Amino acid sequence: MLEKEGGVKVFEGGITSPQGFHAGGIHIGLKKKRLDLGWIYSEIPANSAAVYTVNLFQAAPLLVTKESIGKEGCLQAVLVNSGNANACTGEEGLRDAYEMRDSFAEFLHLPPHRVAVSSTGVIGEPLPMEKIRNGIRQISRIIKEGDATDFEQAILTTDTTRKRFSVEVAIDGKKVVIGGAAKGSGMIHPNMATMLAFLTTDAAVEQQALQLALRQVTDETFNMITVDGDMSTNDMVLIMANGLAANRPLHPEHPEWSLFLAALKEVAKNLAKQIARDGEGATKLIEVHVTGASDEETAKAVGKAIVGSSLVKTAVYGADANWGRIIAAIGYSRSPIDPNLVSIRLGSLTLFQNGKKAVYSEEEATEELKKETVRIEVLLGGGKGEATAWGCDLTYDYVRINASYRT
């Protein structure tokens, strides 16, 4: 177990690490061979919250999940399919999403609004509901017997790896665990993208406070990654808090609220970085840390512009220290910046200082760009705003994968 700052301890785990949560995944034929239907189940009702894509074409499952959480802010189960997004499918798609939710609730003897649904995959194709129905019947018999790694696998599309993370903190003298699983590889440009993240905790958290925490943490983590600048129809980050840790319910006035936020951010940040690192065809993670901005929003805009630049991404792939591409991205971020105060570092190497090219070794710069994680630091001036954004390089394989996504 690794202890981070402020008492947040990282350990090997995931969404079933907190008390009272079960998860699993099965294959029902939505994909040729891989697992494609997953579930999360809490032994007791859990206060829940979610944030969703801002794409105007929100998929049917998002609309149904919004309704479920909006009823009383409480869930007990989540059902997720991959291989089919159930997006842009009209009234039929909405009926299918409701049936998916209601059937799962019926088999678990739950009110329908205690169940959330989510889908990811090809847009515009109707859900093969008979396969979904058969899958729900299978899951209902093994709801507490699944394996979290199967859930992590069942939600993937073009991802190359499963994504999981967990931490532990002490709140009110009680051990509190937060776990998470996510998927995302392409169409990643949050607010949010083809990105699904599911977080669980045994902490007791007031529902409105949970929504506040999730939105704040998402803005600083999942909304600070990009792979390709494309925004999907199905993104969602969802959290369930069942309270089995028996701490006093958390809210912003609780003396350890900041500790809970730090722990939640640690999980979200790690999952976000895993998504960025697993960008379609990617070979490197790009981390851009911006400081000296006039405010946080300026720092975020600059960071996102750099990691989202196709020219920066291809330069990183080719290990070409072309700092002019970084400058260009900063310039079109439309942020209030004095160009004469800008400096850029690549790792520990200064490439650009106070508006002018610095003296540096091209060989050393190339070596920095060959690392698995490429770190770029941007100093904008003397302000206090700062932010970190994550992305990945852009390779030939990205084109190959997306040129034949449906086949």
407 pLDDT higher than 90: no
Do 185 and 210 reside in the same domain of the chain? yes
**Helix/strand/coil for 398:** helix
Q: How many CB atoms lie within 10 A of CB 361?
A: 10
Q: Are the CB atoms for 281 and 392 separated by under 8 Å?
A: no
Query: In this predicted structure, what is the pLDDT of residue 5?
Result: 62
| Final residue before a domain boundary, out of 277, 301, 335 | 277
At residue 227, what is the residue type? V
Nearest to 108 by CA among 151, 134, 76, 82: 76
What is the percentage of the chain residues whose pLDDT exceeds 90?
A: 78
Nearest to 222 by CA among 206, 211, 207, 238: 238
Do 52 and 118 reside in the same domain of the chain? yes
- Residue 323 sits at the vertex; the CA angle it makes with 344 and 318, to the nearest 5 degrees, is 125
185 pLDDT higher than 70: no
- Residue 325 sits at the vertex; the CA angle it makes with 368 and 188, to the nearest 5 degrees, is 85
The sign of the dihedral angle between the CA atoms of 98, 99, 100, 102 is positive
Please state, in angstroms and as integers, the Cα–Cα distance from residue 279 to each residue in 92, 319, 351, 399, following that order: 32, 18, 27, 12
Number of domains in the chain: 2
- Residue 146 sits at the vertex; the CA angle it makes with 178 and 276, to the nearest 5 degrees, is 50
Q: Are the CB atoms for 194 and 229 separated by under 8 Å?
A: no
Using pLDDT thresholds of 50, 70 and 90, give the confidence band for residue 235: confident
| Final residue before a domain boundary, out of 248, 277, 306 | 277
281/278: higher pLDDT: 278
Helix (H) or strand (E) holding 181: strand 174-183
At residue 224, what is the residue type? M
- Annotation says 194 is catalytic: yes
Please state the rounded mean pLDDT for residues 48-76. 92
Please state the rounded mean pLDDT for residues 155-177. 95
Do 315 and 272 reside in the same domain of the chain? no
Do 190 and 273 reside in the same domain of the chain? yes
Q: What backbone phi and psi angles, to 5 degrees, belong to 76?
A: -130, -15
181 pLDDT higher than 80: yes
Residue 294 DSSP label: S
Residue 377: strand pairing partners? 289, 345
Query: In this predicted structure, what is the pLDDT of residue 379?
Result: 97
Sheet holding 385-392, edge to edge: 356-357, 349-353, 343-346, 373-379, 285-293, 385-392
Q: Which of 194, 201, 221, 233 is catalytic?
A: 194
Do 265 and 352 reside in the same domain of the chain? no
Please state the rounded mean pLDDT for residues 148-164. 93
pLDDT in tens, 2-16: 777 678 999 999 999
What six digits make up the tokens of 44? 């007791």
Please state, in angstroms and as integers, the Cα–Cα distance from residue 126 to each residue in 52, 55, 68, 273, 290, following that order: 21, 20, 22, 32, 44
Query: In this predicted structure, what is the pLDDT of residue 295?
Result: 94
Euclidean distance between CA atoms 301 and 132, whole angstroms: 41
At residue 246, what is the residue type? A
Using pLDDT thresholds of 50, 70 and 90, give the confidence band for residue 231: low
Do 31 and 109 reside in the same domain of the chain? yes
Using pLDDT thresholds of 50, 70 and 90, give the confidence band for residue 192: very low
**Helix/strand/coil for 195:** coil
Do 378 and 271 reside in the same domain of the chain? no
Query: In this predicted structure, what is the pLDDT of residue 281?
Result: 73
Domain holding 210, by residue range, is 2-277
Q: Are the CB atoms for 329 and 352 separated by under 8 Å?
A: no
Query: In this predicted structure, what is the pLDDT of residue 189?
Result: 45
Using pLDDT thresholds of 50, 70 and 90, give the confidence band for residue 253: very high
CATH number of the domain at 180, please: 3.60.70.12
CATH number of the domain at 373, please: 3.10.20.340
Do 271 and 335 reside in the same domain of the chain? no
Q: Which residue has the tokens 């993208």?
A: 193
266 pLDDT higher than 70: yes
Using pLDDT thresholds of 50, 70 and 90, give the confidence band for residue 190: very low
| Final residue before a domain boundary, out of 243, 277, 311 | 277
The residues near 363 (Cβ < 8 Å, ≥ 6 apart) are none
- C-alpha 371 chain-centroid distance: 24
Query: In this predicted structure, what is the pLDDT of residue 232?
Result: 59
Query: In this predicted structure, what is the pLDDT of residue 269?
Result: 95
Do 57 and 197 reside in the same domain of the chain? yes
> Rg of the chain's alpha carbons, rounded to an integer?
22
Q: Are the CB atoms for 180 and 268 separated by under 8 Å?
A: yes
Nearest to 188 by CA among 86, 60, 274: 274
Residue 33 DSSP label: S
* pLDDT averaged over every residue in the chain: 91
Please state the rounded mean pLDDT for residues 367-387. 96
Using pLDDT thresholds of 50, 70 and 90, give the confidence band for residue 230: very low
What is the pTM assigned to this prediction?
0.88
The residues near 117 (Cβ < 8 Å, ≥ 6 apart) are 61, 64, 65, 78, 79, 80, 97, 100, 101, 104
Please state the rounded mean pLDDT for residues 366-386. 96
Query: In this predicted structure, what is the pLDDT of residue 159?
Result: 86
Which alpha helices (H) appear in 332-395, and where do they start and end?
362-369
